[in-house]
Structures are given as C-alpha cells and as structure tokens.
Amino acid sequence: MKKIFLRTGLLFIFLSGTVNAAKAQKIYSCDSKYDADVKVYVASSKYDADLVVYKLSSKYDAKDNKGLWYFVDSKYDADKKVYFVDSKYDADIIIYYASSKYDAAWRNKSKMPKMQ
C-alpha cells in the first residue's frame, strides 16, 4: 500500500513540474509594484539585458520561459504580473525588446527562476 502512495505521489510531483515548465509566458502589466510578481526595467541595449523579449501577437505562439511574451488584458489570465520600473536598480530583471522572435533568449540564466 505504501508503494502505491509513493508512486502516486512521485507521479503527481513529476506531472506538476512538467505542467509548470510548459506554461506560456502570458504577461500582465500592473499599475502598482505591490501587485506584481516581478519588477522589470527596459534597457536600451540587449547587452545590458538579463532577458531579450519579443512581444507576440498571439498567445498560442508563447512557449515556455524563453522570452516570448504575450501581454494579456486581465491579471487572472496571466502567468506572471510585471511592473515596469524607471531604474534598473529597482528591477528584478532587465529586459530588452527584440524585433525578431528568434532573438528572444535569456542572457543571464541565473534570473530565469523569477519568471517561472
């Protein structure tokens, strides 16, 4: 009996991790930093960024935690709520907006957990 519970528990933990890892990056832009999960600063150069982001026009194109962001209108539809700050020193992550989705990528992988 213990083996069944152990296997079921391990399967549940594995599946939970798989579902979270496959979540799309649907982003909601908050009006208050207190409502946000992550504070973000937009850099003028990709070399200053932790993450290069491409804004998608369809939520179905958003995949994983790779910098492909789709902005939603409701915080309830979002995977992450972000607040855009005016100083990079106040930010949890620094992003740069790319003009091509193929440029979207993490430059500082140590900050990846902030967006998971």
The answer on pLDDT for 12 being more than 80 is: no
Predicted TM-score of the model (pTM): 0.78
How much of the chain exceeds pLDDT 70, in percent? 79
The answer on pLDDT for 108 being more than 50 is: yes
Read off the pLDDT of each residue in 74-79 and give the average, rounded to a whole number.
95
Q: Which two tokens stand for residue 69?
A: 């962001």
Residue 74, CB half-sphere, CA atoms under 13 Å: how many?
2
The answer on pLDDT for 52 being more than 80 is: yes
Domain residue ranges of the chain, discontinuous segments joined by +: 24-115
Residues 6+ apart with CB under 8 A from 78: 26, 27, 28, 72
- Report pLDDT for 6: 44
The answer on pLDDT for 15 being more than 70 is: no
Residues 6+ apart with CB under 8 A from 36: 30, 81, 82, 83
The alpha carbon torsion through 26, 53, 105, 89 (nearest 10 deg) reads -100
Residue with tokens 């579902």: 19
